[in-house]
Amino acid sequence: MKTKALSAALGVVLSLASAVAAAGSNLVTNGDFENWSAGWTTNGMEFYSSPGIGHAGDLVILTGCRGENCTSTLGSGAYFRQEIDTEVGSSYDLSLWLSENATGTSELSVFWNGALVRDIVNPANDTTRTGMVQFTFSGLVAASSRTALEIHGRQDPRFMFFDDISVTKTESVPEPSSVTIVGLGFFAMLMFRRRIR
């Protein structure tokens, strides 16, 4: 009986620790492009190695596509795409870094599960020398167990560079006080078990 209670308490503690870890894990494969195209489907994009351009590491993905057709339509234009494992009804956050090596018209569009999430004109003009700019998109809800993420870009006079793409689940993480209480309960059970021996 005591062993069952101890096992149950241990199970709760491990479940809470697992939920904390899962909530912050990146679901994107090769989000930093350091393994070149692994995990990605692309169109109108190139993998490029140039130290100092990316957010971290040496590899980025870039586009020199020009015109609104680069970013306006799902599955065409200049994009990189990956299907990720998701849970139906769960909410996710997307983060990406980008820079551009010119001014002029540029555009970033993000599609999640086939729907346009956001279209941003001139997101990071002429920022290659000063560093990449981070963009985040929150509250992306999964409608199935596999969700397509598709990111489009255009930089009419020159190039747009992308790096460090991440998607993380925004599942509610237990309050630190809840974890502490469960931990104290587990410790009390251990002490009780030790006294009985």
pLDDT tens digits for 12-48?
A: 444 444 444 455 899 999 999 999 999 999 999 999 9
Cα separation, 41 vs 35, in Å, equals: 13
Cα separation, 32 vs 19, in Å, equals: 24
CA distances from 146 to 90, 112, 152 (A): 12, 11, 20
Ordered per-residue pLDDT tens for the chain, 197 residues: 555 544 554 454 444 444 444 558 999 999 999 999 999 999 999 999 989 999 999 999 999 999 999 999 999 999 999 999 999 999 999 999 999 999 999 999 999 999 999 999 999 999 999 999 999 999 999 999 999 999 999 999 999 999 999 999 996 545 454 455 555 555 555 555 566 66
What is the pTM assigned to this prediction?
A: 0.78
- Ordered by where they begin, the domains of the chain are 25-171 (2.60.120.260)
Buried b (16+ CB within 10 A) or exposed e, 95-129: bbbbbbbeeeebbbbbbbbeeebeeeeebbbebbe
